[in-house]
Amino acid sequence: MAVPKKRTSVRRKGLRRAGHTHKLYANVPTMKCPNCQSLTVKHHLCPSCGHYRGRAIIEVASPQDAEEGGHEKGGDESR
């Protein structure tokens, strides 16, 4: 049976459980959107223009100024 060689430290355990959002563990592959040239996550639709693989999947209210919007996806800002 495989046994870990070193004990996982409290810091490393906390980093692992941080939801992979910490800068040491965030390894999200990014790419440029072919439609609006903004930085998006691979295999996800573009949040600024709503395109994925060259097709418009969702309707974004205004693709030009998408920075001030963003309230249509999710809408769970009460946390």
| Binding residues for Zn ion (CB under 5 A) | 33, 35-36, 46, 49, 51
CB 3 within 8 A of CB 13: no
Q: Who's near 31: CB < 8 A, 6+ residues apart? A: 39, 40, 41, 42
Closer residue to Zn ion (CB): 15 or 36: 36
Residue that has been written with the tokens 């996806």 in this structure: 73
Closer residue to Zn ion (CB): 15 or 70: 70
CB of 20 to Zn ion, least distance (A): 24
Closer residue to Zn ion (CB): 8 or 37: 37
